[in-house]
Structure 1
């Protein structure tokens, strides 16, 4: 079941290889109408500043993010985004290679909707991405 609203996915990642891989995978999925990549602190700050005034189709339906960054921590990103009124109830999913309990706990304490450990196998990772996107954009059609 496709949602009637346009689906805008925001992906927060600073690793160029991961950005290329995930962008390719996201572009294969028809459920995504618009994809935005935030790859730096500057992009994140600009997004945070402008999303409150965004048109309906520009407000993200889903935010996916890595946990480990070069110049900011995942918990700080979540905390910043959860303070933006229009994003308070949006699903924010952490996709990380981390298996540390402290990372999981910190993610949930700072507003993550879910914390998913990246599969090491490429086929499993591709399948996980598709299932995740389809769930949030097609199956779970009634989230805020």
Structure 2
């Protein structure tokens, strides 16, 4: 039996949160979604600090780059430098198509980089396909 995948979505745009949830539901993915609305909240969640002590660690993180308080690159670097977090796949999910952002994400060991398409069906397919890929990898390594 496949486990329910726990996804941490780090996103400050309510519309993109809703679209990501719809993409996962439309793909019939068995998921639990936790939301962090800024980079500091994501780090607190992952560190189990400031009210997040009882939260289970995610199996996968979808991480925007342009976030308040701490940006996605800072969150990614924090995760990959922390022994208890560095195994969690992190897919950057962002409007940025900057080569600098892409290079920096992969230099910090991002597992993938998706530029959010402006077309709704492309966005839904990109999120669902990427998450399904990681679910398959996670379930086969368990």
Report TM bin, short chain: 0.7 to 0.9
> Which 5+ residue runs of structure 2 have no aligned equivalent?
none
Change (3 A) 1:143 1:84: farther
Q: Distance in 1 between matches of 2:90 and 2:141?
A: 12
Change (3 A) 1:7 1:122: same
Structure 1 SS opposite 2:65: coil
Q: How many residues align?
A: 139
8 Å contact 2:63–2:90 — kept in the other structure?
yes
RMSD of aligned residue pairs (Cα, Å):
2.4
Q: Distance in 2 between matches of 1:17 and 1:65?
A: 15
Q: Which moved more, 1:20-29 or 1:114-123?
A: 20-29
Matches within 5 A, 1:29-108: 29-50=27-48, 58-108=56-106
Structure 1 SS opposite 2:140: coil
8 Å contact 1:94–1:115 — kept in the other structure?
yes
Change (3 A) 1:32 1:65: farther
Change (3 A) 1:125 1:46: same
Change (3 A) 1:143 1:94: farther
Report how far residue 140 of structure 1 moved: 5.8
Q: What residue number does 1:142 align with?
A: 140
Report how far residue 118 of structure 1 moved: 1.5
Q: Distance in 1 between matches of 2:54 and 2:86?
A: 15
- TM-score of the superposed pair, with normalisation by structure 2: 0.82
8 Å contact 1:75–1:106 — kept in the other structure?
yes
8 Å contact 2:38–2:67 — kept in the other structure?
no
